[in-house]
Chain A
Amino acid sequence: MRHGRAFWLFVGPFAVGLLVFVYVPIGWSLLLSFFDARNTVTPTSFVGLRNYADMLTDAPFLRSLGTFSVFAVFIVPLTFVLALALALLVNQISFMKAFFRSVFFLPTACSYVVASLVWKLSIFNGVRFGLANTVLGWFGAEPIAWTVSTSPPWYWLVLVTLRLWLQLGFYLILFIAGLQRIPQHLYEAAWIDGASRGWQTLRYITLPQLRTTSIAVLLLLLIAAYQAFDEFYNVLGTDRGYPPFARPPLIYLYYTALGSGGQDFGHGSAGAVILTLLIAGVTLLQGKVITR
Chain B
Amino acid sequence: MISRRRLLSLAGASALLAACGSNTGRDGNGQALKQWYHAYGEPGVQQAVERYAKAFTKTPVDVQWNPGDYDSKLATSLLSGGGPDVFESTPQISSVRAGQLVPLDDVFGDARNDFTDSILATHTVDGKLYGVPQAVDMQMLFYRKSFLQQAGVQPPSTVDELVDASRRLTKDGVKGLFAGNDGGGGVLGGPALWSAGLDYVRDHQVGFDDPVAAQAIGKLRELYSSGSLLLGAVKDWAEPDAFTQGLVAMQWTGLWTVPAIQKALGDDFGVLPFPKFSSSGKASVPVGAFGAMINAKSKRIDEAKEFVKWLWIERTDYQEDFNLSYGFHIPPRRSISEKASKLTTGAAADAVKFVRDNAKASNPPDWTSVMRTAFNDAVSRVVRDGAPADAEIKAAADKARDELKRLYG
Q: Residue A39 contacts which of B16, B79, B372, B386 (CB distance < 8 angstroms)?
A: B79
Neighbouring A residues of B381 by C-beta, 8 Å: 244
A243 vs B383: C-alpha distance when bound (angstroms): 11
Q: What residue of chain B has the Cβ atom nearest to residue A244's Cβ?
A: B377
Query: How many Å from the CB of B378 to the closest CB on chain A?
Result: 8
Q: What residue of chain A has the Cβ atom nearest to residue B73's Cβ?
A: A258
Q: Residue A261 contacts which of B233, B372, B380, B386 (CB distance < 8 angstroms)?
A: B372
Can you report 28 residue pairs joining A to B where beta carbons are below 8 Å apart?
A5-B9, A13-B13, A16-B16, A38-B94, A39-B97, A126-B181, A126-B232, A127-B233, A127-B234, A148-B183, A239-B186, A240-B180, A240-B182, A243-B182, A244-B376, A244-B380, A244-B381, A255-B369, A256-B369, A258-B72, A259-B369, A259-B372, A259-B373, A260-B71, A260-B92, A262-B368, A263-B75, A263-B94
Decide if B384 touches A13 in the complex (CB within 8 Å): no
Interface residues of B (CB under 8 A from A): 5-6, 8-9, 12-13, 16, 20, 71-72, 75-76, 78-79, 92-95, 97-98, 100, 173, 180-183, 185-187, 230-234, 236, 238, 242, 247, 363, 367-370, 372-373, 376-377, 380-381, 384-386
Query: How many Å from the CB of B330 to the closest CB on chain A?
Result: 21
A243 vs B373: C-alpha distance when bound (angstroms): 9
Neighbouring B residues of A60 by C-beta, 8 Å: 373, 377
Decide if B94 touches A262 in the complex (CB within 8 Å): yes
A267 vs B100: C-alpha distance when bound (angstroms): 20
- Interface residues of A, dominant DSSP: loop
Q: What residue of chain A has the Cβ atom nearest to residue B79's Cβ?
A: A41
Query: How many Å from the CB of B70 to the closest CB on chain A?
Result: 9
Neighbouring A residues of B12 by C-beta, 8 Å: 9, 13
Q: Residue A125 contacts which of B76, B234, B373, B376 (CB distance < 8 angstroms)?
A: B234
Known: A12-B13, A127-B230, A239-B238. A261 touches B367 (CB 8 A): yes
- Interface residues of B, dominant DSSP: helix
Neighbouring B residues of A244 by C-beta, 8 Å: 376-377, 380-381
Q: A38-B97, A124-B232, A145-B232 are in contact. List 6 more A-B contacts (CB 8 A).
A: A5-B6, A127-B233, A150-B384, A243-B182, A255-B369, A261-B367
Neighbouring B residues of A9 by C-beta, 8 Å: 8-9, 12
Q: Residue A241 contacts which of B97, B247, B373 (CB distance < 8 angstroms)?
A: B373
Neighbouring B residues of A128 by C-beta, 8 Å: 173
Q: What residue of chain B has the Cβ atom nearest to residue A146's Cβ?
A: B232
Neighbouring A residues of B6 by C-beta, 8 Å: 5
Q: Is A204 an interface residue (CB 8 A)?
A: no
A238 vs B12: C-alpha distance when bound (angstroms): 44
A286 vs B376: C-alpha distance when bound (angstroms): 37
Decide if A238 touches B180 in the complex (CB within 8 Å): yes
Decide if A40 touches B79 in the complex (CB within 8 Å): yes
**A: interface residue count bin:** 35 or more
Interface residues of A (CB under 8 A from B): 5, 8-9, 12-13, 16, 20, 38-41, 60, 121-122, 124-128, 130, 145-151, 238-241, 243-245, 255-256, 258-264
Query: How many Å from the CB of B174 to the closest CB on chain A?
Result: 11
Query: How many Å from the CB of B88 to the closest CB on chain A?
Result: 13
Q: Residue B187 contacts which of A41, A147, A240 (CB distance < 8 angstroms)?
A: A240
Neighbouring B residues of A263 by C-beta, 8 Å: 75, 79, 94
Neighbouring B residues of A255 by C-beta, 8 Å: 369, 373
Neighbouring A residues of B368 by C-beta, 8 Å: 261-262
**Which A-B residue pairs are the 10 nearest by beta carbons?**
A126-B232, A240-B186, A145-B231, A39-B98, A262-B94, A260-B71, A259-B369, A261-B369, A244-B377, A145-B232
A41 vs B78: C-alpha distance when bound (angstroms): 11
Neighbouring A residues of B100 by C-beta, 8 Å: 39
Neighbouring A residues of B185 by C-beta, 8 Å: 240
A165 vs B404: C-alpha distance when bound (angstroms): 45
Neighbouring B residues of A16 by C-beta, 8 Å: 16
Neighbouring B residues of A13 by C-beta, 8 Å: 12-13, 16
A206 vs B5: C-alpha distance when bound (angstroms): 51
A261 vs B236: C-alpha distance when bound (angstroms): 22
Decide if B232 touches A148 in the complex (CB within 8 Å): yes
Neighbouring A residues of B363 by C-beta, 8 Å: 261
Query: How many Å from the CB of A7 to the closest CB on chain B?
Result: 11
Decide if A262 touches B9 in the complex (CB within 8 Å): no
Decide if A126 touches B231 in the complex (CB within 8 Å): yes
Query: How many Å from the CB of A186 to the closest CB on chain B?
Result: 49
Q: What residue of chain A has the Cβ atom nearest to residue B395's Cβ?
A: A59
Query: How many Å from the CB of B249 to the closest CB on chain A?
Result: 15
Query: How many Å from the CB of B87 to the closest CB on chain A?
Result: 13
A180 vs B328: C-alpha distance when bound (angstroms): 63
A258 vs B186: C-alpha distance when bound (angstroms): 19
Q: What residue of chain A has the Cβ atom nearest to residue B381's Cβ?
A: A244
Query: How many Å from the CB of A4 to the closest CB on chain B?
Result: 10
Known: A150-B384, A260-B72. A241 touches B180 (CB 8 A): no
Neighbouring B residues of A239 by C-beta, 8 Å: 186, 236, 238
